[in-house]
Structure 1
Amino acid sequence: MASPGVLAQNSSKTASMPAVAPSFSGRPSQSNQAAGVGTAGRNAGKTLESRAENGHDNSAESVGRSKMMMQVKPPTLQGNAVREGTTSGAAVKPLLEGNVLRETAPDDAFAAAGVTKTDIMLKKPKPARVEKDVYRAWVSKAHPQFALKADSTDPIEIVEVKGQWDKADRTLKNLGLPHTTIGAGQLNQTGLERTKVLVINCAGTLDRRSLQGIRDFVARGGYLLTTDWALDNMLKQTFPGFVEWNKGKSKGNVVDAQVILPEKEFFQGTVSNASWKLDEESQTLRVLRPDAVKVLAVSRELAKLDPDRQGILAVTFGFGRGKVLHLVGHFDNNSLPFLPLHLPDPAPVIGIGLRQAMSANFVISGLERNIGR
């Protein structure tokens, strides 16, 4: 098996913030492109529904070919890494502490994080109908102690904010995680004092006051999960200078996914290589602060559509006492409301999507943290 052509090395530093986040007041207001996003999103939704009605499965596009490494220019590396050689097949060697080079893949790091090593995905997976029992079986295996008390979770500890395109509510229910769902306009009236995890669905269109509340929530120790268009609509305004949309867009297909930073908090009970469902015009991501932002997973296939040639699928960064996880793509199974159990990208070994498992790990980690509330 050829060695991966896209790797990244992340710094363990996080951005320190005071207990109370600075106010937005006094900072120039950034332009809101919600109208344009909404139009594009509606067109994407219509395309999905039209294709579904005609029997066309958007997930059936090819994930990649074994010769991809010869066709795609290796991306610029993010963070503390060096590239050996100048040929297209050159190996990427991450630096360990003390700038020590590791000659082989860090299998011990994957094992320590509870990650099963799997082969790079060179062809699309077979879509599956995945019942809630499969999701809950995964939770029981990956988090046996938490699974025993999951039903007793106070619903206010997980607050999901509705979006136009992603529906995290369905996946949270499948996982057996009690939660509270609110509309975007209700966030300002919802007290988050007892909330530990906040989920912002795509498209993530929120007013400025809500963004300040989210910023304060994370600074106090909350965990924030955002998906897809929330990157440009709210994440870059709430935490400016960390990440941004680089104007690249996906095609709404299933791509390969490779874990490059196997941290247990995100990847307990998952696999090293799988597939990843992207939606129509998912926003490709640029890291602005490689010293603070960790790249967790990448895709060779997405790198071909990424202006920066990175193919980033998921990132995380700390802010104050809390943490943020952003997904390129959605937390829900798919964007087709009439096929709620249809999963285009089941991962090998675990049966649910890698993007779903890593997000669930993040949510459970947020629930189990003692943040002194």
Structure 2
Amino acid sequence: MGMPNAYKVANEMINDKMRESDRYDDFMKIKDADVVIVSGCYDHIQNVFKAADMKYGLTPPVGLDKVQINPEQTIFINCPGKITNLGIRKISHFVNEGGFLFTTDWALTNVIEKAFPGYIKYNNKPTRDEVVKVEIVGNDPFLSTLIENRDNPLWWLEGSSYPIEVINHDNVEILVKSSEIRNKYGQSPVFVTFPYGKGKVYHMISHFYLQRSEVRDSRGVKSGSFYASEKLKMNSAKKNKYASMVDSDTNVAEVESAYTSTAIINKILFDKKKSWFKRNG
């Protein structure tokens, strides 16, 4: 089943990885996060939530005009993010009051540049359809637990994805970057974040629900269960679980890419939960 199976495997791997850490109890608290997903014709973030068996509400872009949103929520906007002017104003107010927002690709111009001008922008150099190597920047405690230095994550750039140019270098933090994107399109950011009022904005190049990956070496073509054996402290029960869970046509490259994107969703929800506890004690 390729990528659909890869996301299922990646979610189970993240659950097992957190069980091995001292963050598992905190991690489980994000499972009941209040999430609203704005649908899009190009990206399908809700499929990642389905694979993770996590709750969410789904609304079309125009639905933001009428739906009740509050700063305790996290909103994910799928590409292209064509929401109304009223929706733009609501999103800006939502984040300013403490809400968390995540957007992908063309929402950079359709949402971010309109609602939060002066932070990041599209550099007007659209990408080709290709897969690039990415790397984690800095030492984010949650991402570092899940994604290690030895990992080799790849990211799919769909044709005409929008490279991210940072304008406000003092406030925008780059969490994931790619030297391959920089060399080809002039900018390295893949996943960025910045504070706005009491809340936070996250944006990512290309689409969050990856529909393909790419095999670059002999490791990448191996069964996805091999990646589980690399990442986890394996015993016979885990070996049997992943041997039966991984489809015969699901490889390491696919599971590793799915694992990276699933880890990022969990990072955002984990940050939101920490923010809530900080404000409410």
What band does the TM-score fall into relative to the shorter chain? 0.7 to 0.9
Alignment equivalent of 2:188, drawn from 311, 315, 329? 311
d(CA) in 1 for partners of 2:7, 2:121: 35
Higher helix share: 2
* CA distances 1:121-165 after superposition (whole Å, capped 9, x unpaired): xxxxx97941525313313523521454555x26xx100000110
Match of 2:6 in 1: 130
User: Please, which moves more after superposition, 180-189 or 363-372?
Assistant: 363-372
- Residues 300 and 147 of structure 1: is their aligned pair in 2 closer, same or farther, counting only changes over 3 Å? closer
Distance in 2, Cα, partners of 1:170 & 1:305? 30
Contact 1:165 1:201 in 2 (8 A): yes
Structure 2 Cα separation of the partners of residues 178 and 146 of structure 1: 17
- Output the amino acid matched with 1:183: P
Counterpart for residue 104 of structure 2 = 227
Inter-partner Cα distance in structure 2 for 1:184 and 1:250: 25
The 1:229–1:343 alpha-carbon spacing in structure 2 relative to 1, beyond 3 Å, is farther
1:144 aligns with 2:21: no
Q: Is the 8 A contact 1:166 1:202 kept in 2?
A: yes
Deviates more, 1:217-226 or 1:141-150: 141-150
The match for 1:358 is: 264
Alpha-carbon distance, 1:232 to partner? 1.1
Q: 1:195 to 1:304 in 2, by over 3 A?
A: same
Unaligned 5+ runs, structure 1: 1-125, 336-340
- The CA deviation at 1:177 is 1.7
2:120 corresponds, among 219, 223, 243, to 243
Residues 276 and 353 in structure 1, CA contact (< 8 A), matched pair in contact too = no
- Give me the whole-angstrom Cα distance separating, in 1, the residues matched to 2:119 and 2:30: 33
* CA positional deviation for 1:346: 3.7
Q: What secondary structure, in the 3-state scheme, does the structure 1 residue paired with 2:51 have? A: helix
Give the equivalent residue in structure 1 for 2:240. none
Residue 195 of structure 1 and its aligned partner are, at CA, apart by 4.1
Give the structure with higher Rg (CA).
Answer: 1
TM-score (norm 1): 0.57
- Does residue 320 (structure 1) correspond to residue 200 (structure 2)? The answer is no
Q: Secondary structure of 1:302's match?
A: helix
Alignment length, in residue pairs? Answer: 237
- Give the distance between the partners of 2:48 and 2:110, measured in 1 at CA: 23
Q: Deviations over 1:262-307 (max 9, x none)?
A: 322554411344211111111011111101111122212212331x
2:183 partner letter:
K
AA at the equivalent of 1:359: I
Letter in 2 for 1:251: R
1:174 positional shift? 1.2
The answer for the alignment partner of 2:67 in structure 1 is: 190
What are the superposed Cα offsets for residues 71-123 of structure 1, whole Å, 9 maximum, x if unpaired? xxxxxxxxxxxxxxxxxxxxxxxxxxxxxxxxxxxxxxxxxxxxxxxxxxxxx
SS at match of 1:295: strand
Deviation at 1:251, TM superposition (A): 1.3
Q: Does the 8 Å CA contact 1:327/1:355 hold for their aligned counterparts?
A: no
Name the amino acid aligned to 1:144: Y
Contact kept in structure 2, 1:267 and 1:357, CA below 8 Å = no
Contact 2:65 2:84 in 1 (8 A): no
Q: Secondary structure of the residue that 1:281 maps to in structure 2?
A: coil
Identity of aligned residues (%): 23
User: For residues 354 and 325 of structure 1, do their structure 2 counterparts lie closer, same or farther at Cα, with a shift above 3 Å needed?
Assistant: same
Provide the alpha-carbon RMSD of the alignment. 2.9
Give the distance between the partners of 1:292 and 1:329, measured in 2 at CA.
Answer: 22
